[in-house]
């Protein structure tokens, strides 16, 4: 059973900590309690930590630049438990309308892994730090400034 854990805003990790990565192929409209509803991206990530491993579901609300992190609540000690939690997490996000793809983290080239760590919202400490969110905020500022200058000309 996966539940929202408000303490998490992102899952920054290094290459060695990531055990599994699944990415959504689509961006369905989802409603998350306490968040603005809208299109979302889903990530299922298995991470190794100091006290074992864990599987996380990270939902990134694209338009809001916000996220929700779901945790299973148990620390994984074996490969079988990791697969079980991964399967549960995939079933959970698929029930929300996501179509998931296994990124095959371990088989990916180190360069590809580094690229994912630098670009996927799940690996940022805070969703507002995601480059796309920063670019959208800058674009909105530019549009507002341009519109303000246009209206001031009259």
117-136 residue pLDDT tens: 999 999 998 887 777 644 44
DSSP state, residue 76:
B
Residue 141 has pLDDT above 80, yes or no: no
Pull the structure tokens for residue 23: 């990415």
* Region for 135 from its dihedrals, namely left if φ exceeds 0, alpha if ψ lies in -120 to 50, beta otherwise: alpha
Q: Is the pLDDT of residue 15 over 50?
A: yes
pLDDT, tens digit, for every residue of 50-94? 778 889 999 999 888 899 999 987 777 788 888 999 999 999 999
Whether residue 115 has pLDDT greater than 80: yes
What is residue 49's predicted lDDT score, i.e. its pLDDT? Answer: 82
Q: What is the pLDDT of residues 97-112, one digit of tens each?
A: 999 999 999 999 999 9
Q: d(Cα 89, Cα 147) in Å, to the nearest integer?
A: 45
The residue ranking higher by pLDDT, 138 or 128, is 128
The helix/strand/coil state of 89 is helix
Task: Give the model confidence (pLDDT) of 24-54 as tens digits.
Answer: 999 999 999 888 899 999 999 999 887 788 8
Q: Are 18 and 66 in contact (CB under 8 A)?
A: no
């Amino acid at each position: 059973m996966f539940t929202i854990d408000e303490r998490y805003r992102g899952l920054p990790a290094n290459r060695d900590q990531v055990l599994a990565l699944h990415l959504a192929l689509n961006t369905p409209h989802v409603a998350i309690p306490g968040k603005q509803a809208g299109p979302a991206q889903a990530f299922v990530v298995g991470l190794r930590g100091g006290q074992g491993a864990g599987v996380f579901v990270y939902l990134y609300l694209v338009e809001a630049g916000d996220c929700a992190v779901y945790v299973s609540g148990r620390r994984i000690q074996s490969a079988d438990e990791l697969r079980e939690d991964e399967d549960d997490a995939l079933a959970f996000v698929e029930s929300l309308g996501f179509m998931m793809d296994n990124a095959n983290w371990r088989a990916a080239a180190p360069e590809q892994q580094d690229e994912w760590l630098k670009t996927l919202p799940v690996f940022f400490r805070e969703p507002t730090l995601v480059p796309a969110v920063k670019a959208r905020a800058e674009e909105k500022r530019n549009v507002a400034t341009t519109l303000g200058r246009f209206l001031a000309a009259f």
